[in-house]
């Protein structure tokens, strides 16, 4: 996300491929990192650590990476990318509530 815009060739497989990649990347990032350090599924939505992880490993990186693109040659800030990033992050969080990590399932 922080490589110069001309570093990679333009390959388009589907329409809105850029948005699909943003969604998938931040969905996986959120799903994998939101549960770090959480040992029990009980009261998951009230768990303070979950929300700190959500902020530190989800919202902040998405905002930083999209904003930092202004400093990279041939890259620009795109509000639509940021919105798709947030949708991916929130989707990952909701998925984590329904399908928590294997560690919680095994406990």
Tens of pLDDT, residues 37-89: 777 666 777 788 888 989 998 999 999 999 998 888 888 888 999 999 999 99
Q: Count of residues for the chain?
A: 107
pTM score, whole prediction: 0.77
By C-alpha distance, which of 94, 66, 84 is closest to 23? 84
Query: Sign of the CA dihedral 45, 46, 50, 52?
Result: positive
pLDDT higher for 74 or 6? Answer: 74
């Amino acid at each position: 996300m922080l490589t110069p815009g001309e570093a990679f060739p333009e390959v388009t497989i589907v329409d809105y491929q850029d948005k699909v990649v943003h969604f998938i990347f931040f969905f996986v990032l959120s799903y994998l990192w939101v549960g770090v350090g959480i040992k029990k599924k009980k009261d998951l939505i009230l768990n303070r650590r979950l929300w700190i992880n959500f902020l530190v490993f989800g919202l902040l990186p998405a905002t930083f990476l999209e904003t930092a693109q202004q400093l990279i040659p041939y890259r620009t800030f795109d509000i639509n990318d940021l919105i798709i990033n947030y949708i991916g992050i929130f989707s990952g969080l909701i998925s984590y509530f329904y399908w928590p990590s294997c560690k919680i399932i095994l406990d």
